Structure 1
């Protein structure tokens, strides 16, 4: 058997990497939920990594053949791992070599690594735990397609305005304590592809929804949804979701919408299903401080 050769990817390797990831990520035993499972989706995701995306991938080969790929989507201090995507009889050794080579080439600014592996891929999850990652929580990815007949929804929520700031900051801290993305950071990102919808009753803020447009996969994505505790069960969440779906499908003409919900939030899952979302994937996360 040829020895394993580990190297950083080159720009000329990116097409092969995309085909490799798409093929393995379509198999539940290899599934990583940080990246797409189609060639086009993976290529879009790679393109979104910047001018030199090859610097975020390492490859493993035996002789002339590719046997493994591991990548990382880096954003400031966080890195979201793609893989491992390894097909070799010595899976553990190849995966370990890829991981440690990737650690050598990651930007110094990355301080936290995140993984999100499918529940049918426990081997990858166990590998990361053995490398010092801490398990986070089980989550579910839901997707929705445009309705066959699109009707103008009634009572849409408005977009964020400056006088909402104090209320949405307080609600975000209450609903998502310790989340890496603060409400001031969300507000700073708002533009044509990033919207913060706010549900109100007069001057009172009942809830908010932060929605974005993604490239890989091409979809509208609901990042955060929160409703004041005293306003829950009164239709505010459904109204916010209907507003986001209208923006995704009728304004932006997106081919699908997506969201990720924690396993423990069963009430939220039922709400998402009411507006057309269906369960697509389930996975478990882990993270490591560098």
Structure 2
């Protein structure tokens, strides 16, 4: 048995190993897909990212353990892709290598695992991770309506207003309003709703052209404008654009398991519950 850093020569073998495990609820990690092609694409991106790294354990000439660290050194945070292991003892080895590699550069680690993944839960709790929230993963396959819809996208003159609204509604999240503006493209869009008072709601969605998959990342409505159907209007707008104009085959999202209003909104729009996940966070004191 030996451990090392994943390199380009091992990407295909690693993607095969992860795909075989991540399709199982008891091994699933939410930051990665379940198809080998999707996982290989993610590994290729990680391998080309100088800030991130992945660690593997070899046994009898084959990969027997994997842990990816998708790091943002500017923020000092990282998402854990794994651990995926054939033997429990490999987790300790992979985690020690990751901590040593990033020592002094990261202060927070995030883990997002299926509630049936008891191995990940034990890893998290035994290493000081704290449970943060329960999330429900939902998916919509096939456009439920071909009705033509007007698409309203965020105009440049509303960028500042959007940033303020997003950062007010989601003050501590993975993308700030400014970061979303920086990501805007033909495949990353902010759909909007407004009136005489200005911007009253928005939905940020991304489209993966290779996988033909859309994802709803954020949906927010001003507190004073709620219960007026704005959320459903934004959702219908984004769903139509992703299916009809972008050519998406499916749309995914994650929502807090206790957020019954949001769950009801998505279910009424045709989204189905696919899995339940637990979100953990480790903060390392300097």
Alignment equivalent of 2:98, drawn from 93, 102, 115: 102
CA contact (8 A) 2:143 2:240 kept: no
The answer (yes or no) to whether the contact 1:36–1:216 under 8 Å persists in 2 is no
- 3-state DSSP class of the match of 2:99? helix
Deviation of 1:140 after TM superposition, in Å, equals: 1.0
State the alpha-carbon separation in 2 of the partners of residues 248 and 125 from structure 1: 34
Q: Deviations over 1:226-283 (max 9, x none)?
A: 1112222211001101111122111111221111111121100111112221111211
The yes-or-no answer on 1:135 pairing with 2:158 is: no
2-structure distance, mates of 1:120, 1:219: 25
Partner of 1:115: 111
Unaligned runs of 5+ in 1: none
TM-score computed with the length of structure 2 as normaliser: 0.89
Query: Which residue is equivalent to 2:122?
Result: 126
Query: Normalising by the residue count of structure 1, what TM-score does the alignment of the two structures yield?
Result: 0.88
Q: 1 CA distance for matches of 2:212 and 2:151?
A: 24
Cross-structure match for 1:150: 146
Residues 214, 105 of structure 1: alpha-carbon distance in 2 compared, 3 angstrom cutoff:
farther
Deviation at 1:218, TM superposition (A): 4.5
Stretch moving more, 138-147 or 122-131? 122-131
Stretches of structure 2 that go unaligned for 5 or more consecutive residues are none
Structure 1 residue 124: Cα displacement: 1.0
Cα distance in 1, alignment partners of residues 141 and 134 from structure 2? 24
Q: What is the Cα deviation at residue 224 of structure 1?
A: 0.8
Kindly tell me: are residues 72 and 215 of structure 1, through their superposed partners in 2, closer, same or farther at Cα, counting changes over 3 Å? farther
1:55-109 Cα offsets, whole Å, 9 max, x none, are 7221112333432111122344332111111112xx1x21110111122334965
C-alpha RMSD over aligned residues: 2.4
State yes or no: 1:235 paired with 2:234: no
- Alignment match, 2:213: 219
**1:211, distance to aligned residue in structure 2 (A):** 1.2
Count of aligned pairs: 282
The aligned counterpart of 1:36 is 33
